[in-house]
Each structure stands twice: as C-alpha cells, then as structure tokens.
Amino acid sequence: MAYGRGAAAVKAIEDVSLDIAQGEFIAVVGPSGCGKSSLMKLISGLHPPASGVLLVDGKHVDGPLKSVGMAFQNSNLLPWRNALENVLLPLEIVEPYRSGFSKQKYAGKARALLESVGLQGFTDKHPWELSGGMQQRTSICRALIHEPEILMLDEPFGALDAFTREELWCALRDVQAARKVTVMLVTHDLREAVFLADTVYVMSNRPGRIVKRREVKLPRPRELEVTYTQEFQDIVHELRAMIGKH
C-alpha cells in the first residue's frame, strides 16, 4: 500500500512523501501549525491535494475514503446517545452495514469492541457520565467499528492527564496489535510517538515537509517500562533535536 505525495492549496504542507505499509503504525510529530492535521485530511480524502497524487491501495483518492476511521483530541461523542449507540454511528452510514442496519444486529460487535478497551459496564452510559479517558476510548472504538483499513488519530490524547494518557497508549497498543489495523497518529508528544509507532515522521514548520523518518525498532509488545530505558530516551532526544531546526 502506498500513499503518494500532495500539497494543500494553502501550502500547509509541501512535498510530503510517505509510504505506509499495511498494518504499520506511524506517528507524525512536529511543531504546532506545521500541517500535521492537513496531512491527515489529505490522506483521508477530505481535502483534495492541489498537486501530486495520493494513492491508497493502489487507487487514486478523489473523495472521502470509507476505509478510514478518525478520532480527534475532542471525543465529539453525541450527547444524546450512550456509549454503545455512539460506537454504532459509523455503521449507520457506511456500507455494507448501512443497508439492513439494526441496533440488535451489531450491538454485540460494538459491546465487544468497547470491552476490549476496558469499558465493560459502561456501554449504556451517556458521554457526560464517562470520564475524559473513557470518552476518548469510546471515540476510538467509534473510529474502529466499521473495520477501517486506516485509523487516523489527531492528537487523541492531547486533553488527558499524564496517567490516563499512558493507560490509553496501552489500550491503543493492544487494539492495534489485535486488529492489525494501519494507524496514523498525529501528536505533539514525542514519548507517545516513540512508544506506539513503528516509524516516526518529523515535520518542519509551515509549509510542512518531512524532515526526518525514524524507525523505532524497540521490540513488541512494549510495556510502559520501556519508556524509561536509555534506548527509548535516545530516540526521543534524537527526534527532539529535529524539531524547530528547520
């Protein structure tokens, strides 16, 4: 699977070239306003590239990709739906689930997904009855329920406290390992990027371009302990040195 190159009309990003393998976990880091989110919108097909090509699965992207799941810093759950109904939302929109959708038919699937991220017993709660971390877990489940090929996460843990964030790293790590989904994570947090990703891309200031591609060879499954090792710290330092230099 290859993604091509693209440049957004406002030159938010320029000459970005990424190749992402199926099932790979990549992280994109960079200073704020460097076009990380634009890159994500580009790949998901929400914004067409001004020039260049974008290929997913060998096909040109010219509209929103249905094989994408997205989650943002704000969980954006619908307050009138409980956790389970929020997770079911994509199935009411994406084919082949859409035709013949019924809540009963897919409730089991959604419940299993919620339980896999540790939300057993909270499936019938409404968003305001869930903590910030739980809301974010639900949001990630919503991005995964239709079994997308690519999961796009735009600073999904940005608004959480440090401990909850680390918990969610592990939840995301496990869900990705179990489902072999391709993940593109946009983040400010270098530790988060190194802990979770196979490959980390560093973007420069606007117009954003990729200034560094760093593979993380730390063995999987990774435990939180790994973040305290010298090897981990060295990678973080190496990436940090690249940010803001260009």
Applying CB under 8 A, which residues contact another protein? 41, 44-46, 63-66, 68-72, 74, 76, 78-80, 89-90, 92-94, 126, 128, 142-143, 146, 152
The distance of closest approach from Cβ of residue 41 to another protein in the complex, given in angstroms and rounded to an integer, is: 7
Nearer to another protein, 65 or 117 (CB): 65
Q: How far apart are CA 214 and CA 208, in angstroms?
A: 17
User: In this structure, which amino acid lies at residue 96?
Assistant: P
Which lies closer to another protein via its Cβ, residue 160 or residue 242? 160
State in angstroms the smallest separation of the CB of 172 from another protein: 17
Which of 106/195 has CB closer to another protein?
Answer: 106
Bond preceding residue 127 cis, omega within 30 of 0: no
CA distance 235 to 54: 30
DSSP state of 74: S
Distance, C-alpha 236 to centroid of its chain: 20
CB of residue 95 to another protein, shortest distance in Å: 8
**Residue 72 Cβ, how far from another protein at the closest point, in Å?**
5
Region of 147 please: left (phi>0), alpha (psi -120 to 50) or beta.
left
> Which is nearest to 212 in space by CA: 2, 30, 43, 3?
30
Give least dist CB 140 to another protein, A: 12
3-state secondary structure of 45: coil
Q: Which is nearer to another protein, 45 or 208 (CB)?
A: 45
Residues 6+ apart with CB under 8 A from 72: 139, 154, 155, 156
For another protein, give the closer residue by CB, 76 or 233. 76
| Tokens coding 235 | 């990678």
Q: CA-CA distances (angstroms) from residue 78 to 41, 84, 112, 126?
A: 22, 11, 20, 9
Token output for 27? 């992280």
Measured from the CB of residue 225, what is the shortest distance to another protein in angstroms? 34
Nearer to another protein, 102 or 230 (CB): 102
Which residue lies nearer to another protein by CB, 81 or 188?
A: 81
CB of 79 to another protein, least distance (A): 5
Helix axes 132-144, 162-179, angle to 10 degrees: 20
